[in-house]
Chains A and B, each alone.
Chain A
Amino acid sequence: MTMTEIISHPLTKLVLGLVLILVFVGVNGLILVWMERKVVGFIQRRPGPYEVGPHGILQSLVDGVKLIAKQLVTPRGADRFLFWLAPMLSVTPVVICFLPIPFSPGLTAMDVNLGLLLILAFSGINVLALCAAGWGSNNKYALIGAARAVSQSVAYEIPLLLSVLCIAFQTGSLSLSAVAEGQSRGLLSWNLWVQPLAFVIFFISATAETNRAPFDLPEAESELTAGFHTEYSGMGFGLFFLAEYTYMIVVCSVATALFLGAHDGPFLPGPWWFVLKVYALILALMWFRWTFPRVRFDQLLNLCWKWLIPLGLANLLATALVLKLGE
């Protein structure tokens, strides 16, 4: 095997992609935690982190060092295996979720024709992790948090899928690259204009799927101490935290690829536009979190079953009808 063959081998690309994704995930986690604290600070007219590094940019780094240095405590009566499996199970699938995301036509770690399905399948594992964390902790708050996480995720995966299906119908493909390719002819070719309702449903469901406020019931600090991660110390908690922020990037990336034209944009190269749109969506998620109060659990499920699912179904039917008539 020559050097060129090794470099151009798909496996090399995959390994390289995974390493880059790990770097991206780690650095993004640090930046997003800092960004979140800055956003909440500004909204409350405070400076946020300010002392470590210029404008506190290194704050999340030293927080990470603190988390790594802390003792890992397993509560008495906990299921040791599940308890420590859960945080790892929460973070690991994230890496796979990044594989099919089309940062630009040339910058996709692995172009699979079932990319969307891959992301949806692997992001579902996070629910299992939360469930294991809650069960393994031997703690009532953690268990209630886990139960909430499961019912919430199960409910909101339906409207999420319904809105994603609309785009899949329209494009006739489950490959994110193909969907992105279809929107690369300027602002007006973006799916957002054709499927505004699907975008709204997707974004609301994504907020709920990532357990972000106002749908952060699994960790509801005011009722459940910290919900499913009540008993985790040090990096156990750190991994859940990292996973939460990384899932934010994943859902915002998918939203960008599906609705906001992916890497389409003038002047700047494609990947910059992609990252810019992703960060704009994340900023919106943070804006939501520090504006809206947490909903009650019945309100959460009512919103899903009485509004999002019927609307999503209607939207899907209308899309199918229009596509069929257009043939």
Chain B
Amino acid sequence: MPGLAKTIKGLWSLIVGLGVTGVEFFRPQLTVHYPRKEVDNLATYRGHIDLVARDDDPLTPRCIVCRKCVAACPSGCIAIESRLVGAEPGGDARELSLAPGLIVTGSHAAPPPRQKIRREVAAFHLNYNLCSLCGLCVQTCPVQSLAFSREAYLCGSSRADFEFELLERLRRRAPAGGQRAA
């Protein structure tokens, strides 16, 4: 009687199922009653991105303004404003210059040594309204200047509340009296 055996097996499976839910009924609950309690496993939480400060200077981000994150972002959340540091006032620092070793035809001396110019973040805008939290910007950053924040309880009542200036956030986050390292 294979049919009967199958039926008995099926009936037994019903009892097993009741056992499973019955045991779950008496096990402790997993819900965290939010306003009264908060979760403590935020270490791996992926909130919106934040700038990471340089090791030697809590006020300056590691960012080298390569704009790879801007290119990588599929939603166009990120906009970076930069300024050039070390440029002579009035001069165009982006002017093409020859390698210092070369001597230009018709001149008798090497050009003046090239000034060390670097770009610096002037403003780092994040429009979190558009972000899909894919994390491509964090993966792409060559100097690990971007990291996920742990703002699990972020809330706001307008779109403007989710447009962040990350540089300001970094400066606000810096330890009190954090001076630019010498």
Interface, chain A (partner B; CB < 8 A) = 39, 41-47, 50, 287-288, 290-292, 307
Contact = CB atoms under 8 A, between A and B. Distances in A.
B14 to A, nearest CB: 7
Contacts of A43: 21, 24-25
Nearest to B30: A45
B18 A287 contact: yes
Contacts, number: 36
Contacts of B27: 45
A47 B31 contact: yes
B21 A290 contact: yes
Interface of B: 7, 14, 17-18, 20-22, 24-31, 33
Contacts of A288: 18
A46 B21 contact: no
Shortest 3 CB-CB distances between A and B: which pairs? A291-B21, A42-B25, A43-B21
B33 A50 contact: yes
Nearest to A39: B25
Dominant secondary structure of chain B at its interface with chain A: helix
A290 B25 CA distance: 11
Contacts of B20: 291
Contacts of B7: 307
Given A44-B24, A47-B33, A291-B18, 9 more contacts: A42-B29, A46-B29, A46-B30, A47-B29, A47-B31, A50-B33, A287-B18, A287-B25, A291-B20
A292 B18 CA distance: 8
Contacts of B25: 39, 42-43, 287
A307 B21 CA distance: 26
A287 B31 contact: no
Nearest to A307: B7
Contacts of B17: 291-292
A291 B25 CA distance: 11
A290 B7 CA distance: 22
Contacts of B14: 292
A73 B104 CA distance: 88
B29 A45 contact: yes
A212 to B, nearest CB: 15
Contacts of A291: 17-18, 20-21
A43 B22 CA distance: 7
A41 B21 CA distance: 11
A45 B33 CA distance: 13
A45 B18 contact: no
B6 to A, nearest CB: 12
